[in-house]
């Protein structure tokens, strides 16, 4: 009986042991599955986080780029708007004042028949200067409109730049009654192939600016010479000068310096834009630098033939 009981106990022990081994093996399998599942979930979670961070960064970059571009174009629009407003104000002034002063001169001449000859001559001369100013202004406006509308075809004339420069200096000297001292070194008969009217406008605009943006009795040096395949025109004034940060901007359409001295001077901000565009059409260039001790130097290089 005792033996029987013992073998029964042994049987239960062995069955439990074998069940335990079986359970441990099962637990181990479940554990491994569990671990691999955890790893899989962890991997998926990390890749989702990476994806969210990636998408978020791309979105942020796009947002920053769009904001920057919008801000940039807004600023540009504001600048163009301000320049157009300035242009309208200056053009109105530029048109109104010569018309008004010519009208006064003509009214005086018709009312006062007894005026002495020299007074009559002075009034007539002033009116002609006013008309010349108006004419130059209208020419500049038309030229700028043609260049912008791409309807401007440059002619290929043989242009005597020496003559153009000399005549431009004489005309300005007349208008400003010799109030500036011109020191000119202009080599005779320097020719380039190009558009005579357009190149005259380049030289006239630069000579006029040198006078406008300097004070009475100051010296202006002008030179014209050949350099290899190019012709070099240089004009140096002792005027107000141009700050470095403005040197590029002055060639933009309607741009005028904010300096008080130059603001008080008549102008529309079209001259240097025309100079730049016409020289580009002639495959030439214009550069501006400081003069010593003050003022600016404009240097123009034009190929002798296009
Ligand atoms: P405008 O003379 O009609 O204003 P420009 O296009 O010729 O127009 O010149 C643009 C601006 O550049 C001028 O308003 C002036 O502020 C500046 N500028 C041009 N030439 C000179 C110069 N020689 N010295 C100083 N400032 C100049």
User: What atom of ligand 1 comes closest to residue 262's alpha carbon?
Assistant: 16
Q: Measured from the CB, is residue 238 less than 6 Å from ligand 1?
A: no
pLDDT at 81: 85
Q: Could you tell me which of 205, 213, 209, 166 has the C-alpha nearest to residue 188?
A: 166
What separation in Å is there between the alpha carbon of 208 and the centre of ligand 1? Answer: 9
- Number of neighbours of residue 82 by Cβ within 10 angstroms: 11
What separation in Å is there between the alpha carbon of 265 and the centre of ligand 1? Answer: 9
Q: Could you tell me which of 283, 293, 279 has the C-alpha nearest to residue 205?
A: 279
| pTM of the predicted protein model | 0.75
Q: Measured from the CB, is residue 284 less than 6 Å from ligand 1?
A: no
- Let me know how many helices (H) and strands (E) the chain has, helices first: 6, 7
Name the band, by pLDDT with cuts 50, 70 and 90, for residue 169.
very high
Name the band, by pLDDT with cuts 50, 70 and 90, for residue 150.
confident
Q: Measured from the CB, is residue 237 less than 6 Å from ligand 1?
A: yes
Query: How far separated are the first and last CA of the chain, in Å rounded?
Result: 130
User: What atom of ligand 1 comes closest to residue 259's alpha carbon?
Assistant: 16
Mean pLDDT of 260-269: 73
- Number of neighbours of residue 214 by Cβ within 10 angstroms: 22
The answer to whether 256 and 85 are in contact (CB under 8 A) is no
Tracing tokens 């002639």 back to the chain, one arrives at 282
pLDDT exceeds cutoff 70 at 260: no
Q: Could you tell me which of 196, 279, 177, 179 has the C-alpha nearest to residue 233?
A: 279
Mean pLDDT of 146-166: 93
- Number of neighbours of residue 254 by Cβ within 10 angstroms: 20
153, 164, 224, 298, 301 from 202: Cα distances, Å: 16, 10, 14, 11, 12
In this structure, the residue with its CA closest to atom 3 of ligand 1 is 267
Q: Which residues contact 158 (CB under 8 A, 6 or more apart)?
A: 191, 193
What separation in Å is there between the alpha carbon of 50 and the centre of ligand 1? Answer: 56
Q: Which residues contact 250 (CB under 8 A, 6 or more apart)?
A: 242, 257, 272, 288
């Amino acid at each position: 009986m005792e033996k029987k009981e013992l073998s029964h106990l042994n049987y239960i022990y062995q069955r439990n042991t074998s069940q335990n081994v079986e359970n441990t093996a099962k637990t181990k399998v479940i554990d491994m599955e569990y671990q691999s599942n955890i790893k899989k979930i962890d991997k998926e979670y990390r890749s989702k986080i990476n994806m969210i961070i990636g998408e978020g960064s791309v979105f942020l970059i796009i947002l920053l780029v769009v904001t920057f571009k919008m801000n940039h174009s807004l600023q540009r629009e504001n600048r163009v708007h301000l320049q157009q407003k300035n242009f309208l104000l200056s053009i109105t002034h530029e048109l109104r004042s010569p018309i008004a002063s010519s009208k006064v001169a003509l009214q005086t001449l018709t009312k006062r028949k007894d005026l002495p000859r020299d007074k009559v001559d002075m009034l007539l001369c002033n009116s002609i200067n006013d008309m010349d100013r108006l004419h130059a202004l209208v020419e500049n406006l038309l030229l700028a409109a043609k260049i912008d509308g791409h309807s401007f075809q440059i002619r290929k004339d043989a242009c005597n730049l020496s003559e153009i420069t000399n005549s431009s200096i004489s005309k300005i000297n007349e208008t400003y009654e010799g109030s500036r001292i011109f020191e000119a070194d202009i080599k005779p008969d320097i020719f380039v192939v190009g558009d005579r009217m357009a190149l005259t406008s380049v030289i006239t605009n630069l000579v006029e600016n040198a006078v406008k943006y300097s004070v009475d009795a100051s010296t202006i040096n002008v030179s014209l010479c050949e350099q290899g395949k190019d012709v070099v025109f240089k004009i140096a004034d002792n005027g107000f000068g141009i700050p470095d940060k403005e040197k590029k901007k002055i060639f933009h359409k309607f741009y005028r310096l904010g300096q008080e001295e130059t603001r008080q001077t008549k102008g529309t901000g079209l001259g240097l834009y025309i100079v730049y565009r016409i020289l580009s059409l002639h495959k030439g260039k214009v550069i501006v630098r400081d003069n010593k001790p003050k003022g600016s130097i404009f240097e123009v290089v034009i190929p002798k033939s296009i």
